[in-house]
Amino acid sequence: MTVPTTSGRIRLLPTAALILGAIYCIVPTLWILIASTKSKTDLFSTATYLPSFSAGIWHNIVDLSTYQNGIFWHWMLNSFGYALIGGVAASLVSAACGYAIALYEFRGRKVVFNVILACVLLPQIVLAIPQYLLLSNVGLTDSYLGVLLPQLFNPYGIYLCRIYAASSVPQSLLEAGRIDGASEWKLFHSVGLRLMGPGLITVFLLQFIAIWNNFLLPFVMVNSDDKFPLTVGLYSLLRHGAAEASLYSLVITGTLLSVLPVIALFLSLQRYWRLDLVTGALK
């Protein structure tokens, strides 16, 4: 085999290494796809890496959809609800706070910002149990609000919004608006928010994924299974499955169905991921 020595040749070794990495990352999803085509009995009896073509996947989806009156789809809806409402609300809170800190001089500005910065390093997850104990005193546990409210404060989002507001909203534009007689509120929502748009989408996506992926907070906060997000729901299904192996194929199918929509969402929104913003925060 002759490898051309010109500068146009493909770099074989780096390409191969990257492909290996990509395969490692895709294989579990691919295997879940194969496993969910198998019926309860095939799952343990057929070659594990070969799909089954006996319409097992359809039966599995039907089984899953009828399990406890379709509670799986309820979990799916809950997850989307938590992530969508929480993501939008948290982004707005972050945008308002970041914008104010970046563009106004006011008393307490430094203190607020430093406290928020410290919270970035504070593991939110250890707060879950104290949050539960506190919310149980006001009767907010086992409610949708109990899962939503603690996730609206996103110190990292505020930090990113501050950086983004400082770099994308010029003071001179606000001054011009002021001379034209625009109110500060109007400047915020029609100039500030608009200019911060692209960065806000990233903040929203980060928060959406964070809430979608969250397990410990809803696991601690919610007891009734009709309020579970997918993560807690599938975990509880797996726990029942430990006693009853026939539930394994339901767990596998549920896992597939829960992964596919986020992957689709993720791929379709990939051009909105402004990850340079995340790294820009380093400088």
Partner 1 sequence: MAARNRAKLPYLLVLPAVALLALFVVAPGVYALVLSFQARKVTGGLLGGGSKLVFVGLDNYGLALADPELWSSIARMVLVALLFIPATVGFALLFALLLDVPRVKLARSSRLAIFLPYAVPGVIASLMWGFMYLPATSPIGGDHIDFFGASTVFFSVANVAVWGSVGFNMIVIFTALRALPSELYEAARIDGCSELRMALRIKVPLVLPAIAMCTLFTALASLQLFNEPNTLRPLSNAVSSTWVPLMKIYEDAFVNSDVNKAAATSVLFVIAALAVSFVASRTVSRVNR
Residues 28-67 interacting with partner 1 (rule: CB under 8 A) = 28-29, 31-32, 34-35, 43-44, 48-49
Which member of 10, 53, 139, 244 binds partner 1 (CB under 8 A)?
10
Q: Does 104 contact partner 1 by CB under 8 A?
A: yes
Restricted to residues 154-193, the positions that interact with partner 1 (CB under 8 A) are 158, 178, 181, 183-185, 188
What's the Cα-to-Cα distance from 119 to each of 112, 157, 192, rounded to whole Å? Answer: 11, 11, 25
Applying CB under 8 A, which part among 53-61, 62-70, 195-203, 261-269 lies near partner 1? 261-269
Restricted to residues 123-142, the positions that interact with partner 1 (CB under 8 A) are 123, 125-127, 129-131, 133-134
Q: Does 222 contact partner 1 by CB under 8 A?
A: no
Cβ closer to partner 1: 33 or 61? 33
Question: Closest approach of Cβ 81 to partner 1, in Å?
Answer: 16
CA distance 117 to 120: 5
Q: Does 73 contact partner 1 by CB under 8 A?
A: no
CA distance 47 to 54: 14
- The dihedral built from the CA positions of residue 68, 72, 75 and 77, taken in this order, carries a sign that is negative
Applying CB under 8 A, which part among 10-18, 57-65, 67-75, 195-203 lies near partner 1? 10-18
Question: Closest approach of Cβ 66 to partner 1, in Å?
Answer: 21
CA distance 256 to 278: 29
- CA nearest neighbour of 146 among 78, 204, 207, 210: 78
Question: Closest approach of Cβ 152 to partner 1, in Å?
Answer: 5
Cβ closer to partner 1: 71 or 158? 158
Given phi > 0 = left and psi -120 to 50 = alpha, else beta, which region is 69? left
CA distance 44 to 127: 41
What's the Cα-to-Cα distance from 202 to each of 140, 147, 152, 193, 270, rounded to whole Å? Answer: 30, 22, 16, 14, 10
Cβ closer to partner 1: 93 or 201? 93
